[in-house]
Amino acid sequence: MEGASYQRFPKVKIRELKDDYAKFELRETDASMANALRRVMIAEVPTIAIDLVEIEVNSSVLNDEFIAHRLGLIPLTSERAMSMRFSRDCDACDGDGQCEFCSVEFHLRAKCINDQTLDVTSKDLYSSDHTVVPVDFSDTGAGFENNEDQRAIARKGIGKDHAKWSPAATVTFMYEPEIHVNEEMMETLSLEEKTSVVESSPTKVFGINPHTQQVEVVDREAYTYDDEVLKKVEAMGKPGLVEIYAKEDSFIFTVESTGAVKASQLVLNAIEVLKQKLDAVRLSEDTVEADDQFGELGAHMRGG
């Protein structure tokens, strides 16, 4: 075991990239890496979100906590977040979280002057820092005869602490499927049977080539590992007609961002955070010691 290197060199291939959406392939690594990346993207990439609300006047129909909670959930543009300090670690303000290094101040003033209901949205929120502003358009609340006057402090945080700091709307990956169609066996089938095989999959994975009338894989990635086709083939008494495997080392990631960070940046930030975490593990001199301390358990955890 000693000395053996498990180092691999994962490859990334970007398929699609938008501001709030990214799709890429991650190859030549295993599930632990892929999942770690996913977890970090959801829970540990820092963003900025409103964390403290001081309400001066609130005569709306919504109560203070409700409004404060909703303010917290507004995604704020958080490009600065990586370089900002956590207010708990901030030396400049002794951790009271109200200085420019660790916080951004917002103001919300809204008053309804007629007898109609006034919609109060994130557009009514005024930031003290032009780099940290609400993403697009989102509701905070609406009230009849509304009068709100509040000061809000936004701080850096991570999704682990509260979902409002999570930059990711969705991060999932799937194992790349490998689909083999036994052409020889397929030839023995009638067109009807072929169609039934094709249609047994709820998603459009297979198709029939109109020219050759052969069953082809149309969209490999539409396959959801539902085994429907395999069951169908089995039921037809032709096991091995179609074989599907999941590639153990190829993953297709789908990343959707809330808009706080661009999807591409989210991935890069996640890798950065992951690196930092690994560095923390490597640098810690206690680890070996701790392993010793745990004795057998430690050995077990190392895989021995």
**Any contact of residue 202 with another protein (CB under 8 A)?**
yes
Q: Nearest distance from residue 195's CB to another protein, in Å?
A: 15
Contact stretch for another protein (CB under 8 A) within 125-133, 207-215, 222-230, 277-285 = 222-230
Q: Nearest distance from residue 101's CB to another protein, in Å?
A: 26
**Any contact of residue 169 with another protein (CB under 8 A)?**
yes
DSSP for the chain? -TT-------EEEEEEE-SSEEEEEEESS-HHHHHHHHHHHHHTS-EEEEEEEEEEEE-SSS-HHHHHHHHHTS-B--GGGGTSPPGGG-TTTTTSS-STTTEEEEEEEEE--SSSEEEEEGGGEEESSTTS-B-S--EEEEEET-EEEEEEEEEEE-TTT-GGG--EEEEEEEEEEEEEE-HHHHHTS-HHHHHHHHHHSSS--EEE-TTT--EEES-GGG--S--HHHHHHHHTT-TTSEEEEEEEEEEEEEEEE-SSS-HHHHHHHHHHHHHHHHHHHHH-THHHHHHHHHTHHHHHHTT-
Q: Which of 156, 164, 232, 262 binds another protein (CB under 8 A)?
A: 164
Q: Scanning residues 65 to 94, which ones bind another protein (CB under 8 A)?
A: 65-66, 69-70, 73
**Any contact of residue 109 with another protein (CB under 8 A)?**
no
Contact stretch for another protein (CB under 8 A) within 74-82, 90-98, 167-175, 187-195 = 167-175
**Any contact of residue 134 with another protein (CB under 8 A)?**
no
**Any contact of residue 196 with another protein (CB under 8 A)?**
no
**Any contact of residue 117 with another protein (CB under 8 A)?**
yes
Q: What would the two tokens of residue 71 be?
A: 């303010």
Q: Which of 15, 89, 219, 225 binds another protein (CB under 8 A)?
A: 225
Q: How many residues bind another protein (CB under 8 A)?
A: 49
Q: Which of 11, 18, 35, 284 binds another protein (CB under 8 A)?
A: 35
Q: How many CB atoms lie within 10 A of CB 270?
A: 25
CA torsion sign for 139, 140, 143, 149 is: negative
Q: Nearest distance from residue 122's CB to another protein, in Å?
A: 13
**Any contact of residue 99 with another protein (CB under 8 A)?**
no
**Any contact of residue 38 with another protein (CB under 8 A)?**
yes
Backbone angles phi and psi of 294, in degrees to 5:
-75, -15
Q: Which of 128, 131, 170, 284 binds another protein (CB under 8 A)?
A: 170
**Any contact of residue 115 with another protein (CB under 8 A)?**
no
CA torsion sign for 86, 91, 92, 94 is: positive
**Any contact of residue 160 with another protein (CB under 8 A)?**
yes
**Any contact of residue 16 with another protein (CB under 8 A)?**
no
Per CB under 8 A, residues contacting another protein are 31-32, 34-36, 38-39, 42-43, 55, 58, 61, 63-66, 69-70, 73, 114, 116-119, 121, 142, 159-160, 162-164, 166, 169-170, 172-175, 202-204, 224-228, 246, 254, 256
